[in-house]
Amino acid sequence: MSDSDIPFPSSVLEPLDARLADLVALYEDLHRHPELAFQETRTAAEAAHRLTAYGYDVTTGIGGTGVTGVLRNGPGPVVLLRADMDALPVSENSGVPYASTVPGRMHACGHDVHVTCLLGAADLLAAGRDRWSGTLVVLFQPAEEAGNGARAMLDDGLYSKELVPTPDVVLAQHVAPFGAGLIAYCPGACMAAADSLEITFHGTGGHGSRPETTVDPILMASAFVQRVQSVVSREIAAKERAVVTVGAFHAGDTANVIPDRALVRLSVRSFDPNVRTAVLAAVDRIARAEAAASDAPQEPEVKIIDSFPVTVNDTAVLTGVNEDFTRFFGEQRVFAYEPATGSEDAGLLASAAEAPLYYWWLGGWDPDEFRAALAAGRLAQDIPSNHSPRFVPVARPTLATGVQALTVAALSRLGGK
């Protein structure tokens, strides 16, 4: 492929092969040492160290552990590339030789891939700065899983204090459980809004042998868990998208004591604001109704503990970048995908700057295993999803494709020389 074949200098990507071994080692190291939201000190230090070596102006500690690198390279657009850094409270069960060394912690959503790919792209773009003009911002964000990492960086003056110049476009990617080497995109609303709720049901505790003297909050909360599953199936039109998932239930400490409270945490996903309002209202109504049915001594406490907005891709940017993706990767490796009910906060970085966003998916699973599962109709059974204790993307060709995608996308938006 020559420079005349594509609208950006392919020579920027030529050093990638020589850098891949280092990137694989970095990925495996990050995977061994996962850090939870706002605790990503080791990961942030590695990013800052490498960015400094590449020649970026580096700022650390933004919003807690956030890191930015800025490379000013003459007149032209300001392009921001973003990666999230945090891991999950998941015990790994992958069997890979570089599995997590931290009990109960794992990069189960591929953020170690994201950090590695962005550092790889930052290196190539810095080394090839004679082929583009403009300003490149690379941003390593904390606490995406908690839903408030991007907001923390913005609240800490990411743009208002001019820690970084306000971007003209924000670009990001996320590794997903389909064949490595593939790129997927979704026009418009591509990821759902998400609300995490915590509901505390109050009862009256007592001896397990005398339930008639108590108001059992476990029975109350269990009835809620059953009933709340009817919200999507019976209150939301089939043409709409919504998900309600109960992910945590905590009550009591021993077998023969009825506790005085039970705590439930659940996640609500939606794409339409009216659907979101309806689902949240139904969840609140059902919680209060079950408490009343049990003659609870007080109403349940219902509170939203975090929220993600709908992630919306800009049509013009998506179309322009995809033209370059298709030229570089070929039509067979770039395909449209349905909106995902997962959620993201990268869109906040774009909306705060009044800039367009393009967010795409990067295949991360072994291509042969993926094709076999697809042919057998067993994708859900055989290919672990994000947040699974078995979700560990393969290093090759995932990392190369991820570095290439970020680099191609950045060059598509930056000015040429």
Q: What is the per-residue pLDDT for 131?
A: 93
Q: Tell me the domain boundaries of the chain.
A: 3-191+310-416, 193-308
Q: What is the per-residue pLDDT for 288?
A: 98
Superfamily of domain 3-191+310-416: Zn peptidases (3.40.630.10)
Q: What is the per-residue pLDDT for 243?
A: 96
Q: What is the per-residue pLDDT for 417?
A: 62
Q: What is the per-residue pLDDT for 6?
A: 44
Both tokens of residue 267?
A: 């996640």
CATH number for the domain running over 193-308: 3.30.70.360
Residue ranges of the binding site for Mn(2+) = 109, 111, 145, 174, 387
Q: What is the per-residue pLDDT for 9?
A: 53
Q: What is the per-residue pLDDT for 162?
A: 79
* Longest distance between any two alpha carbons in the chain, whole Å: 82
Distance CA 406, CA 171 (A): 8
Residue ranges of the binding site = 109, 111, 145, 174, 387
Pick out the chain residues at pLDDT < 50. Answer: 1-7
Both tokens of residue 337?
A: 């995908």
Strand pairing class (183-185; 193-202): unpaired
Nearest to 200 by CA among 302, 309, 58, 280: 302
Both tokens of residue 340?
A: 């995902």
Both tokens of residue 153?
A: 């960086």
Distance CA 170, CA 138 (A): 10
